Structure 1
Amino acid sequence: MRIAICDDEKEIRNSIERYVCLIYKDVDIILFDNGKSVLDYPEQIDILFLDIQMKEMDGMETARELRKAGNNVIIIFVTAVEEYVFQAFDVGAFHYLLKPIEQVKFFDVLKNAINERKESQVKGMKEEPSLVIKQGTLTQKIYFREILYVEVFNRKLIIHRLNDDIEFYGKLSDLENSLGADFNRCHRSYIVNFRYVLKYDATSVTLENGETILLAKQKYSEFVKAYMKYNQRKGL
């Protein structure tokens, strides 16, 4: 179990770390003083204590970026301002703790978060990531592992799978949000599955089946960083 604490106040970081260690000795605790460091961290975080009011990138923006990347980390906001409570739940926060942190309340929230994480991990082992596509009266489940890449053509989305293609009406941006961090919007017309990337250069991505898709110049740097993070997550 990996627990991260992100707060720009050292005293608060240390206080939360101390509370965690009082009841859980065998967890891995990572400390951050800014949101960008959380986003750049290559390993999976199970539970994140996240301050809202931080300089540069605040906690809300950090949480939105995590969700946009498909990260399902359990987020517990920690802040001195109660007015953000409704925004917190907009980004799927598990709970909201007010400063100064009440120890008994903290223990209850942490225990519930750990139980929730364990349950979701068990559930995740049983449920393989997938999409549900509706084509008129037909509903079809498509597993992420089957998808080579997705393209938009003539206002239609085409999901290219290992053995066939599926066409339907939709927005590439909506699909991008659903697919998560193992996929990348490498071009305005394409989303590629990192799983099947064989090689890439400044203008294109070649897949294991030999197909080549476009890599936009302005997307190149973002693509390389995301691909490196993908390889780190997979231990490649």
Structure 2
Amino acid sequence: MNIFLCDDDCLVTKQLSEYLNEYFSDRKMDTIKIFTFNTAFSLLSSSVIPDIVFLDIEMPEINGIEIAKKLCSLYPDCIIMIVTSYSEYLDAAMDIHVFRYLDKPINKKRLYSGLDYAIKRLTDISGKITFEIHSKFITLSKKDIICAEAQLRNVNIYTPTEMYTSKKNMIFWKEQLKNPCFFQPHRSYIVNMNHIISFDKTTLYTDNTALAIPISRNTYQSFKTTYLLFMENTR
């Protein structure tokens, strides 16, 4: 995840950077890169694609609202948070659907709340899911999930390279894997149809040869229809 900080006041970017490092460190999210800019030109000239941008409004060359408009045009999925001492720009910020409008000095609690929602939104947009295992956060692309398997109170998540045991129950995973490529052939399984290579009336076989997924008698016809239609639409 790439995070941009743009403010001509180095004390503001220093404090914001410290807050961000603390936030992501506490959540054991270590794939974060923070980039600091003190001019609009340097930000807009960057070759890095931002995921979240924190913008000051009163900048020497161009104000933050204009920068935000350019960023929205270049990166439609980018999340923009305005950081300013000036409340009169609030309406203009709302017109371009700025994600948060944060007052200076920065309130850490409000910043962290905004980040919680921002990460959830990025997860939804990117087709990725973040979940916790033993106090560590794991992020997976949904396309890499072969299946979810309920085991007592836990759910095992299988990918081509790993198996993760989540404390979240099957209700949570059904909600997270609401996607046309996922199907629940059995009450204990949710499968990604992209990973199915063959099936019969009792079993789905995946590209992980160690994974054979049962299919209940009551769902076979529904699965067959859904799978064939899915494959037709993805050709």
Q: Which string of whole-angstrom CA distances, capped at 9 and with x for unpartnered residues, describes residues 148-173 of structure 1? A: xxxxxxxxxxxxxxxxxxxxxxxxxx
Residue number in structure 2 paired with 1:115: 120
Q: Which residue of 2 aligns with 1:57?
A: 62
Structure 2 residues not aligned, in runs of 5+? 129-140, 143-235
* Stretches of structure 1 lacking an aligned partner (at least 5 in a row): 127-236
Instruction: Supply the distance in 2 between the matched residues of 1:55 and 1:89 (Cα, whole angstroms).
Output: 22
Amino acid at match of 1:94: F
Matching residue of 1:3: 3
TM-score, structure 1 normalization:
0.50
Aligned length: 125
Amino acid at match of 2:108: Q
Q: Aligned pair in 2 of structure 1 residues 55, 114: CA closer, same or farther (>3 Å)?
A: same
Q: Does 1:44 align with 2:49?
A: yes
How much has 1:73 moved relative to structure 2?
1.0
Partner amino acid, structure 2, of 1:13 = T
Deviations, residues 116-166 of structure 1 (Å, cap 9, x unaligned) = 11111118x99xxxxxxxxxxxxxxxxxxxxxxxxxxxxxxxxxxxxxxxx
Considering only CA atoms, is the larger Rg found in Structure 1 or Structure 2? 2
Q: Do the aligned residues in 2 keep the contact of 1:36 with 1:62 (CA within 8 Å)?
A: no
1:231 equivalent in structure 2: none
Runs of 4+ displaced beyond 4 Å: none
Letter in 2 for 1:78: V
Counterpart AA for 1:17:
S
Letter in 2 for 1:116: R
What is the DSSP-based 3-state SS (H/G/I as helix, E as strand, rest coil) of the residue aligned with 1:42? coil
Structure having greater relative contact order (Cα 8 Å, sep ≥ 6): 1
> TM-score when scaled to structure 2?
0.50
Given that 1:48 and 1:74 are in contact with CA atoms closer than 8 Å, whether structure 2 keeps it comes out as yes
Matches within 5 A, 1:159-198: none
* Matching residue's letter, 1:37: S
Distance, in Å, in 1 between the alignment partners of 2:123 and 2:75 is 19
Q: State the match for 1:96 in structure 2.
A: 101
Residue 69 of structure 1 deviates from its aligned partner by 2.9
Q: State the identity %.
A: 34
- TM-aligned CA deviation for residue 70 of structure 1: 4.6
Alignment of 1:124-203 (within 5 A): none
The one-letter code matched in structure 2 to 1:61 is E
- CA RMSD in angstroms comes to 1.7
Any conservation in 1 of the 2:77–2:125 contact (CA below 8 Å)?
no
**Does 2:18 correspond to 1:21?**
no
Cα distance in 2 for residues equivalent to 1:81 and 1:2: 26
Q: What's the secondary structure of 1:62's corresponding residue?
A: helix
Distance, in Å, in 2 between the alignment partners of 1:110 and 1:83 is: 24
Contact 1:77 1:97 in 2 (8 A): yes
Distance 1:92 1:72 in 2: 11
Deviations 1:26-82 (A, max 9, x none): 211000111121211112100000111111111111111122335431000000011
SS where residue 93 of structure 1 aligns? coil
